[in-house]
Structure 1
Amino acid sequence: MAAIAAALAACGGGGGGSPQAAVAYTAGSVYQVGTTSYDPDLPPEPTLPNDTQVCATLQASNNLVSRPDGSLPPEADPSKSGVGVAVDKTMINPDQARIQAALDACGASVDAEVGAKIAAADASAVASQTAAAKPNVNIAGVSGEELAKPQYKASKFAVRLVVNSQGPGNGFITGPLTLPSGVTLWIDKGVTMYATRDVTAFSPNPAGPYCGNTAVSATKAGSSSNCSALINGNNMVNSAVMGDGRIDSRGYAEIVTSNKLYPLMKVDMTCSNTYVNYAKGTQAADGTACDNGGTVVDSKSSSRNMTWWDLAYLGNMVQNGTTGYGSQSNFRMMVFNYAKNLTLYRITLNNSTNFHVVPSGVDGLTVWGVKVQTPSLAAFANPAGNGNPLYTGAVYNEDNVKNTDAFDPGSASKPTSVALATGSTTTSAQKIAFDGYLKNFVFAYNYVSTGDDDIALKGSSNPSPAGSGLPGIDGNRDVRADRKYGIVIAHNHIYWGHGISVGSETNAGVTNVQVYDNSFRDSEEGLRIKSDYARGGEVSNVFYNNICIENASNALLFTPYYSTKALPAAGPLFPNFHDITLNNVRIQGSSGVKLQGFQANSGGFGNPQYPLVMTMNNVVADSPDSINLFTSDANLTIKGVNLPLIADANNRNVITGTPTKAVDPSKVVDCSKAYVDFPAIGASNYFGSTWDSNH
């Protein structure tokens, strides 16, 4: 590194050799990050429903009152640990049935009013597309853009959760909910919707699959797919989750069961029963080997039950590293598959037990003004933890609440024609078509701090016809008239987490993505593209503009060596990142920068080199000597860059252009107002009511 720094200093500023030349690298006025309130390139901001558009209003019970830290008091839904101990369903899950009933009734009303119009529009579009016989294009049916018009929206479409009008009640406790097509779940200001701690709500079938474990047999790992999500939505048109309230999945909370035979893991690694015995309706004897990731059944154990985050840490950091098969079976907060026009607006999401929001195959996905903070202060108030909530004895921090990705949008596996979900058990009379692509995605004005990816575009599935060569995620696909870009991530504030990512699943391809006016403060990563040869593919035409990054562990991390996951049976899938552009990116404080392509013959597969092909304009560090830089297999074109990038035959780097210390970072992008405290949301985090840079 000293030799590289010396070489950079010896270049005397480059780029013409004078500060005046450095100034010339910037065009126009300096952009001030984090202050834009209106963007003409985006569609209009969503709006909350009005009172006349509400199907039903549900008041919180006065038995459920959030504490100032955001948690519920222990007496609200008391824990009961031990073998052969069950909790009372009426206390542990009091609101699921009434919320779902209101959603179902609203869904039926919406379908009765506009279902036939949607079906007719889809049938007309399918007939037109079939007649056109376009090659290599899926029949998408009616577009989400058409369905966004007023005639396809019901006059009443929202279910509203509100504080109790006669008392202090402001909480709801619920198990999994199904969001019907056309319905908005509106969580009002001051309201928190909590996930039940009853594991059987997420895994009701005695024959499995089983939730709340790190393994489901002696050799098979757990999986989040074993659990129903807290909010589920499939085959929808014009649905939403909105409001100024909160959803808290309580990943910090001790897991309990309303069925005394359901196997639970304990912090001493024993279990309360086995799945084999549970399926038979019997209790296993003490000393029987556990089949949920624990050791043996112990009816005498006085240890508390595991929390969801205990399982996540155990499965990912301990068992996976020693046995290779550990992974948590934790429920996700929201999972949506196949939708046209899905909106998340102004809602606050806390403490998911696994990923927060996983939308796949959505035409018209809008995430706007949403706050995600995990862990929140409620996590440290967990009564079972007594100040040391993790089973290891460690206090929760931003990096030991594993796999709590905030947003993982991606393409779906295939096109489909299916009836709309009008309720938890009902569907529309006619089917409509979904093409499976992620398109017209806007992620704007959000505040995100979590224990894993803040947002990650997943190009894991390709709904294109075989041999078409069409990517799973393409920002140029069917771009609507009310916006400039099809995939855009803009005006966001990112705190802890793995930043704005593409991958790690890129095998279906990701292209034409716009990322601009985003700030990163104390994040683990900033800008990131990640994959490996178990799930690699082509990532291209990703444009980053006007970015401020302060005190990130890795400000820039582009790597095709994300993990050593087992290869698919068909052989390796090689990552290929090219035509990546960074303009006006400023790095403040010490940080790492890793720029890697895929080396030829990597892993002994005889593959060609897939270099990282990147253009870097005005990519600067306030203190370039404090940047820990590593590059390999990179073809970089640079201008106005003060990072010590030099051609290096040993690492197979090709650099076009010359780094310069003459460039003035303050003339590249203005970060003076980019870094703001996390907005106060009542109960924010362990370190205070707002997120402070000195945490």
Structure 2
Amino acid sequence: MFWQSGSGFAVRVAIVSGVGMATLFASAQDTRTMTEPVIPPSCSTLPAQLLATNNRLDAGDEGKLDTKRIQAALDACKPGMAVELRPMSGNNAFLSGPLDLRAGVTLLIDEGVTLYASRDPKDYDLGGGLCGTILTGAKQPELSPQGCRSLIRAENVKNAAVMGDGVIDGRGSSQLIGHGYSWWQMARKAEPDNDRYYSSRLIAANHADGFVLYRITLHNAQNFHVVVNGTDGFTAWGVHLQTPTVKGTDARNTDGIDPASSTNITVAHSWIDNGDDNIAIKTGVTHMSVLDNHFYDGHGMSIGSETDTGDSFLLVDGLTEDHTTSGIRIKSNVTRGGSVHDLIYQNICMRDVKNPIAISPYYMGQTVEGFDDPKYTGDKIPDYTGIIIRSVVDSTPGDVLIAGLDEAHRTEVRLDNVSMKGSKAHGRFATVTTGQGGFDIDLSGTEITVVPAKGLAAGVLTGPVYRCEGKFVPMQ
């Protein structure tokens, strides 16, 4: 291995030997040369004028929005510089509605400062008064926040950024002004009948090449935390994402980081603990690296469920998953599937993960994958090929699913030095090729075809097993 160093952190890239493997590895990642981002100098400093105590604003401060002064500072700032939010005279809080980032400008939130999202859905409404409401009887297969703006938006701008050691809090658990429920309660209320509901998101980047999140802490997103679309070059480095901050609170549909229709993406040295997929790669993503991260509560390292325009060339290297529902998760079905190929997962530690591997064409909206074909009809066919899983350890037995849709669309996976002893395997229409390190998952009761490496029996782990000592550490 070699390291490309930034100023304190590093991006790890491994050289893989074997016919075709070096070429696959070189292509299955962000094609940029990545170094740690650098916080730019400030063009202006805004002092906090509000005080939050025990993470709460005084009720009398709820109308004292800082939106206009923050936006004016962003508009006036020169590219290559930052608008800095700073604690002042004991005050530690800003309150804002939607903000638009500008090209080359960084929103810098200092340590000790929290930027709180307004609880008034009218501040985010895109017209028609839909934001913060449920449209009963209007079904959709994937609930979306149409009708609301995001708290922070990078739209058609290059090299915008959000940085700093402060916090952005979406207050998803707080009651909305004018309504008797919170963002999260609204989402849960809409679930039984799959009703359309309208919720804001925390950060959204659209056609925002070079967008960066650095060291920032994200709490209690109203819906998804970070959504990136149509972007060439997105970096999340040293991000700390925790939702809900009060354990036991129901925070439905609060995905961590969701890229779509984008390329050259790196998520590195970050900590993600949330109420849905920790990372969910949506359709149209190529050349993405997920390097040296820690996941806690959440649904794991996911691709899908929308994959109809394809996903390819992903590298996940150095991941610890602690109490996620899934580990390596690829989910879709015939109403939204497509080609997913050239993926490498390596150097991964898991514990208390229900589905350490879940590769499924049977997705029905559930938290963990079912093992049987729901017999949906559609022509968007999930097709999973060129998947390498190597140097992976799951210390707690779970359920492994490796399945293809049919004989014409067999899932193709290579397992090399994979230890998940005691896990129960499920699958059909899949071919598993054994690497020289082998694996200890018993696939004998499945319909999965196993192709052993030369001189190696199927289902034998030859080791040495990847070492996970010291990997499981508290959320930071």
Distance between the aligned counterparts of 1:662 and 1:101, measured in 2? 60
Does structure 1 residue 184 correspond to structure 2 residue 106? yes
In the superposition, the TM-score normalised over structure 2's length comes to 0.86
* 1:319 counterpart residue number: 193
Q: CA deviation at 1:93?
A: 4.5
* 2:285 counterpart residue number: 473
The one-letter code of the counterpart of 1:590 is P
Give the aligned length.
Answer: 434
The one-letter code of the counterpart of 2:424 is N
Q: CA deviation at 1:37?
A: 4.8
Q: Secondary structure of the equivalent of 1:523? A: coil
Does structure 1 residue 540 correspond to structure 2 residue 350? no
1:173 and 1:194 in contact (8 A); partners too: yes
Distance between the aligned counterparts of 1:236 and 1:596, measured in 2? 41
* 1:452 counterpart residue number: 276
The one-letter code of the counterpart of 1:309 is W
1:209 and 1:227 in contact (8 A); partners too: no
Aligned counterpart for 1:499 among listed residues 270, 281, 300: 300
Distance between the aligned counterparts of 1:541 and 1:526, measured in 2? 18
Q: Secondary structure of the equivalent of 1:200? A: helix
Structure with more relative contact order (C-alpha pairs < 8 Å, separation 6 or more): 1
C-alpha change, 1:40 and 1:525, in structure 2 (3 Å) is closer
Aligned counterpart for 2:165 among listed residues 244, 249, 271: 244
C-alpha change, 1:511 and 1:99, in structure 2 (3 Å) is same
Q: Secondary structure of the equivalent of 1:409? A: strand
* 1:384 counterpart residue number: none
Q: CA deviation at 1:39?
A: 3.0
Question: Which structure 1 residue ranges, 5 or more long, are not aligned?
Answer: 1-27, 29-35, 78-90, 111-153, 258-263, 265-304, 321-325, 381-394, 412-437, 460-471, 476-486, 601-608, 680-695
The one-letter code of the counterpart of 1:189 is E
Distance between the aligned counterparts of 2:177 and 2:310, measured in 1? 41
Give deviations 1:304-331, integer Å, cap 9, x for gaps: x111110011112x232xxxxx133110
Sequence identity (%): 35
Does structure 1 residue 613 correspond to structure 2 residue 401? no
Q: CA deviation at 1:530?
A: 0.9
Distance between the aligned counterparts of 1:633 and 1:234, measured in 2? 42
Q: Secondary structure of the equivalent of 1:224? A: coil
* 1:105 counterpart residue number: 76
Aligned counterpart for 1:630 among listed residues 426, 432, 439: 426
1:93 and 1:198 in contact (8 A); partners too: no
Aligned counterpart for 2:10 among listed residues 38, 45, 51: 38
C-alpha change, 1:629 and 1:227, in structure 2 (3 Å) is same
Give deviations 1:13-54, integer Å, cap 9, x for gaps: xxxxxxxxxxxxxxx9xxxxxxx95335451100112xxx31
* 1:551 counterpart residue number: 352
Give deviations 1:251-283, integer Å, cap 9, x for gaps: 0000004xxxxxx3xxxxxxxxxxxxxxxxxxx
The one-letter code of the counterpart of 1:454 is N
Question: Which structure 2 residue ranges, 5 or more long, are not aligned?
Answer: 2-7, 14-32, 367-376
Aligned counterpart for 1:488 among listed residues 277, 289, 297: 289
The one-letter code of the counterpart of 2:417 is N
Aligned counterpart for 2:51 among listed residues 57, 64, 67: 64
C-alpha change, 1:368 and 1:504, in structure 2 (3 Å) is same
| Counterparts of residues 111-510 of structure 1 (less than 5 Å) | 154=79, 157-164=81-88, 167-203=89-125, 205=127, 208=128, 210-215=130-135, 218-219=137-138, 223-257=144-178, 264=179, 305-316=180-191, 318-320=192-194, 326-377=195-246, 395-396=248-249, 400-411=250-261, 438-459=262-283, 472-475=284-287, 487-510=288-311
Distance between the aligned counterparts of 2:348 and 2:56, measured in 1? 39
Q: Secondary structure of the equivalent of 1:103? A: helix
Q: CA deviation at 1:220?
A: 5.7
The one-letter code of the counterpart of 1:473 is V
Q: Secondary structure of the equivalent of 1:490? A: strand
1:584 and 1:619 in contact (8 A); partners too: yes
C-alpha change, 1:564 and 1:200, in structure 2 (3 Å) is closer
Q: CA deviation at 1:590?
A: 2.5
Aligned-pair Cα RMSD in Å: 2.2
1:232 and 1:336 in contact (8 A); partners too: yes
C-alpha change, 1:349 and 1:76, in structure 2 (3 Å) is farther
Distance between the aligned counterparts of 1:574 and 1:313, measured in 2? 30
Does structure 1 residue 47 correspond to structure 2 residue 47? no
Distance between the aligned counterparts of 2:397 and 2:139, measured in 1? 42
Q: Secondary structure of the equivalent of 1:225? A: coil
Q: Secondary structure of the equivalent of 1:98? A: helix
C-alpha change, 1:180 and 1:452, in structure 2 (3 Å) is same
Q: CA deviation at 1:655?
A: 1.0
Distance between the aligned counterparts of 2:48 and 2:156, measured in 1? 29
* 2:406 counterpart residue number: 599
Distance between the aligned counterparts of 1:490 and 1:564, measured in 2? 27
In the superposition, the TM-score normalised over structure 1's length comes to 0.60
Distance between the aligned counterparts of 2:12 and 2:323, measured in 1? 30
